[in-house]
Structure 1
Amino acid sequence: MSVWERSSTARVLLPARPRKLAKVPFVELTDGRVQGVVSSGSDLGRVYVSSVEASSYAFSCSTNNNRPCGGARGTFCNHIPALLNEAVLQYGGERVARYLRVDVADEVTGQLIALEMSNTQPTPADSSAAATVFSRFLRHLAYLELTPTTAPLPEMQWFPPTRAVV
């Protein structure tokens, strides 16, 4: 058993490459989807919650108040490739392609993943996960507002007490 497996802290994976958070402030690989929050190109006060499902490539894109994206009419809107590009920067191209089950050769980019998925005629999905994704994004933003401290956070103290390993 390695040292990190015996501790109560999680190992942090550094991003594959540095990201600029202005366009896509939140991206994650979870629940069988690449999902996240993408800023609007035309309105500073609007964000879109976008997601693409693994295998089926069903996609959804809607505003934070659940209005459908005007560009996602039967095909990927501009928010989906932006989300995939940032996912590639955050997690690495091979990992994102493997997670989505996309066969991509050569250097993997978000644009290439989106192009491969577009060739299979992806279908729109319901945006029922948008509220959950946006809620997680807001939770992450709340952590940025905390003052820096080394004291434990009460909401993170769900770990059971353990005896020290000698």
Structure 2
Amino acid sequence: MATGDEERRSTGRVGAPVPPRALAKVPFVELADGRLQGVVSSGSDIERVYVSSIAAGTHAYYCSTNNNRPCGGLNTWAMCKHLQALVDAAVLQYGADRVARYLRADVGDGAASATGLIAGLSGQQEKQPAATVFSGFLRHLGYLERPDIAGPVPELDWFPAERAVL
């Protein structure tokens, strides 16, 4: 339980470190815009990626290439392997409980796994544009290509850093 002093601090609680995940398979995953969304690499073509998403609340899902061609494995009764890989990566990145809360999924007791989370999703296929998610992925890739600099980078200012306490 938080004391009065803890509630007045301007810092947040730091979570446990994220375990490493296979970036080659799912290089980008985020909980944003009311969806679990990300970019998943193709298993058959090294130059193809899929943009996959699952909406919070409705659990509507969709998967397409970055140029909006629907995934061939997507159907109305089950999620494709790209969506399953996205859920797996999200569970590694954020934890099953946090992903389930974000998606408002009823996973029952002790479903702290990607399989339990997928079983708790009851949505249907609903077309979603891929451009927003894919452009976010490309923006994040751009940060990896920045040259090393010692000064501040304004667009990365939201990352936690050591700062003097005033």
Q: How does 1:1-166 map to 2 (within 5 A)?
A: 1-2=8-9, 4=11, 15-74=17-76, 75-104=78-107, 105-117=109-121, 120=122, 122-128=123-129, 130-156=130-156, 166=166
Q: Distance in 2 between matches of 1:52 and 1:17?
A: 23
> TM-score, with normalisation over the residues of structure 1?
0.82
Tell me the TM-score normalized by structure 2: 0.82
Aligned length: 152
- Residues 154/30 of structure 1: CA separation in 2 closer, same or farther (3 Å cut): closer
Runs of 4+ in 1 over 4 A off after TM superposition: 11-15, 154-158
Output the aligned Cα RMSD: 2.3
The answer to whether the 8 Å contact 1:15/1:89 transfers is no
Structure 1 residue 108: Cα displacement: 1.3
Structure 2 unaligned segments of length 5 or more: list them. Answer: 1-7, 159-163
What residue is the counterpart of 1:8 in the other structure? none
Percent of paired sites with the same residue: 55
Q: 1:110 to 1:142 in 2, by over 3 A?
A: same
Measure how far apart 1:4 and its partner are. Answer: 3.6
Unaligned runs of 5+ in 1: 6-10, 159-163
Q: Is the 8 A contact 2:111 2:117 kept in 1?
A: no
Write the letter of the residue equivalent to 1:54.
Answer: A
